[in-house]
Structure 1
Amino acid sequence: MHAGRLLNVLILAAFAVLETCGYTEILCQPLQKPQNGVFSVRQCMSQPSVRMICAVICYPGYVVQGQASVVCKNDGTWSGTPGYCRDNQSPIIRHETSNIIVNAALDSNQAVVNWEQDKPRVIDNSRKVPSVRLYIGGREIKGGGYEHTFKIGLTTVKYVFTDDSGNSADFFFRVEVRDVQPPTITCPKVDPVVSPDREVDVSWVQPTVTDNSGKPVRVISNMSPGKLYRGRYKVVYEARDEAGNRASCSFTLHVRPPKCPDLHTPINGAVSCDTFGFGMFCTLQCQNPYDFDLPAGMTSVPNYYACGGGGRWFPSTQVPDCTRYQNPNGSFVRTLYYDNECPDPRAQKQIKENGVSSFKMSPFGSSCNCGLTVDDFRVICGATNTSAVRAPDNQSPIISHQTSDITVNAALDSNQAVVNWEQDKPRVTDNSGKVPSVRLYISGREIKGGGYEHTFKIGVTTVKYVFTDDSGNSADFIFRVDVRDVQPPTITCPKVDPVVSTNREVDVSWVQPTVTDNSGKPVTVISNFSPGKFYWGRYKVVYDARDEAGNRASCSFTLNVEPPKCPDLHTPINGALSCDTFGFGMFCTLQCQNPYDFDLPTGMTSVPNYYVCGGGGRWAPTTQVPDCTRYQNRNEYLVRTLYYDYKCPDPRAQKQIKENTVSIFQETPFGWLCNCNVTVENFRVICGATNTSAVRGTPGSK
């Protein structure tokens, strides 16, 4: 007789003997399946037998409330009432809204911000949608929504999600509304100020300044109302708001004395006076080869004549004539002489050029800071006389080329730069024919030895040259060196080991990044996460560093917060183990290769559809793993997803094993809560050893 049939006959015979002897099996009342959980033994809900222990196993996110297990007693009653599964898991935030940076609306101190395309996504193990509370700047916003108005500045937005059991989770992001619009500044219209005094009290209406931010605006000016000397001034106002946006306006201020009488025009010479101002600035010039014939009491010819506040010329009203010849051994101020006869167009041009040069080298030219040309001067020619005398040197050196302003970048990893301007060095001549002495000043400090190469710190530095001839006449000019910081800070994030805890919410801390900057100045550092409480999961922590020049750098690291690792499950003989790779390897299934089946050990009534590693580092519902060491009984119902064809290493078997696991996962509470598109790529396979022996049956047994 076939071994399987013989076994069935023996079992039937045994039940017949028991019935003859009056034996009746004692059963307890079947238990109702606990909501959000299962019993450790399926028979607890169908035919619970005497001494059967029924333990309540809750789905992830739930804990047993009440009696964790009950026993079917010998009299057919339960040892107590089984507990129920209470929800103790906070909602899971699947996606957090990123920090938002926007510009304020035009002429406004705020911006409308919408994050519907980046709205948060949250799920709960109860499969119900948690309630939502929205806080902006610490104030709860009724009605929530994804579009709100934010003022200029940095505002914290916080979401709080709460499930029906009162468990809550929250996160926050920041909205930065930047002010990029410069202030509006309007300068006044100022009429000329006429006074006989050289120094005059001058006042004007301050500019009108407004800013879209509504906050105070800092206004600075190169000049303030008060005492001013005669001249033409360009008054510049600059407005700067709290965000650093700038705007400026300017106006020209004329401070002039009453008109002076016309100067005497020198014989054999000419007078050149300005036309751009008040005709207050004039120079005397002689036609070559004539020179100034100084009257008694006059020791030198003024470089220029200026009309004084009392309507008189200074430094003198005396105007010498060019009624003597030049001394060929003497020195001459070039700007006091011209070639050709005065009416000649060439002479007219030279006389005006001399007038421009004299003006620029005067205090009036230094304060005017205006681009004068020959068109800003007129010429009055004197009569001709061939008599002549000689005059001393009173002309300053002539700077024919000035070094231009220089802009360079600071050296790598340095707060300074070496600057060389030898290719653009100044050029100077003197009427004496000798080379003037040179003094170099950097930031007001004289540099002995001069030179054309020096080291400058980050920022703007003023460089000044002063040239002096043997007669003590001097000329000077300045240029500026701007050393810019273009190198971003250096930021190094810490190496953070995984945080392992049995609690789903863990206090996590880490060492802050190390930040340095070549400028040596403070660096602003912000991050998307701060040390504190974290749920199990993977987090990308990003730090952003910004120096005073606006250069930026960032670093990041991955923070893993995970439960303790469970011990490796036994891999069934003639079977395989398939576990997830997308989480922490906490979800596994057992499968047998056809035609093998699970050989259940004593006390094990069925094979779990799946094994889950709990937060305490233990497998549920059991640690027992049966081997596939018996042949399948074709009369028994087989769960398709627990079996596969081909040998385990075969790629076809690998694919089938993973597909079975995907199907099982999707039908579990984990699959429902995950709400994720899990594929075979998210699982791995561990093959068991091969053994052709079987405990019961033969292939194809009934």
Structure 2
Amino acid sequence: MWTAVPPEESVPWPNCTLKDNLKKSPEIYTAHVEGRGATAMKIKRPKKSKQPDTIPPTITNCPWDITITTETDPVQVSWEQPEISDNSGVFTSVASISSGSCFRYGTHQVQYTAHDEAGNEASCQFKVTIKKPDLSCTAQPPTDGSLACGTLSYPGSGKNKWQFCVPFCMKSTGFHRRAGSVFFCQPSKSGTSWFHLDEAWQMTKAHMPETCTVRRRMGSRKGDSLQYYEGDCNEQAVKKQILATVEHIVAKDPSVVSQCTRHPNTCGNFRISDLSVHCGPGNNQRDTEPPVVISCPQNIEIETKKGNPYWNDLPELSWKEPVFEDNSRGPLTITKGGSNVNNGDKLAYGQYSVEYIATDLSGNQAKCSFEISVKSIACTMELPEHGAIVCGYPSVDGMDLMTIDCIVLCQSKYQFSRDPYPIYACSEEGLWWTFTSTFTPIGPNLPSLNHKCQEPDIHKKPKVVDQNFYFDGDCHDRAVQDMLIGHLEYFQRKTSAYQYCELNREFCRKWNGYRNVTVFCGST
């Protein structure tokens, strides 16, 4: 507020202030007087710069969509409020539906909206869905049969649909009791049940068939003739056959036929949807799952002194029989394969394979197999430096001796540290039996075959030894090895035992030579 001053008087302008009763502190203005004694002046207000607010409020922690399944209608629903803030510190928020409100069945949109003083706006939305519990009926397909289920509706009926099922049996079986064609589902809060509809749409409670029984005698079947099928329910062609039959069975149902009288405009104008076929357990399903091997013996390997059947009581081998299981819980047929070996047999030296095969009623198979190895106790030998050892498996007419014979040889420019025997035979006890060419056919038993080939001692007179104990050339050469193999046969014929059998054929079997002869070369 300004005070008027006469023109002829001067005013100390720097001390003039504008008194504004609306503000606590005075605001200073700059004033100019135009001419002496003038009554007009210019007042210059200070300029203030102000940026417009364009930032909307911020909403965080907006609730997620809420879905509740309940038999209560309406139902109270609560949620945590979202957090709202604004840069100005001043805002207004509005909720379309507040937390703790009651909701009926259906989907409801909830929105929170916030405004600040500048008119900026922000919002968040979520849905609250209240659903009725699913009261659909459940049923298991009958044994040796199947169950086709779907929904039935009529035009103009809105969302009203009837859940229904039609039981089927294989043609070789029949329903164990009288069965209606079409079963409808009646849902309620207390539970669900199956029923039949008559021409007046009166409900009769019914029990879904649990099994299809084998027909013991001829006669009419229970149920509609269309409710029987041939083939494997799991095969696609059979399922298509069942699905195609369902519409004909539904069309013959009393409740559907009565529609032609009650509502001629909808006669036969029904719609089937969500149709599917479920196969029951039994022989209508082809079992493709093989039996399961629960236990199977591991490979068996033994060393024994008594594996020769010609002069020993053979060792008895036994094992736990394998165990199989099948998904059908039906009987399994167990057959044996591999070697002709049974549990508890006495086995000679050799390799045997054992195989058990389990077959279920559908022909699926599972196998359990393992190996049996019966070995003699191994004999030890040391290869002579500058020498060789030749070994082979002897056989006579009609008999495999199941032993191994060996000879020891030296290169011709070396000599033996001690006299060798013609034949060394590895016994079942792991000892080397020595066969001689003297009147004493069998010499001492040796724990190891360990002859040495050494350079001649010039101070000693060399012993006279069969020259077949020596060889020339490289032991690794194939031609040399072929020659050494012949030495094994030579020394066998030199033994007293061989000579005896040659003279006494009636007591000995015919000699058939050696098999699997191997040459082992010592270092040079």
TM range (shorter): 0.3 to 0.5
Q: TM-score, normalised by structure 2?
A: 0.39
Q: TM-score, normalised by structure 1?
A: 0.30
Tell me which structure has the larger Cα radius of gyration: 2
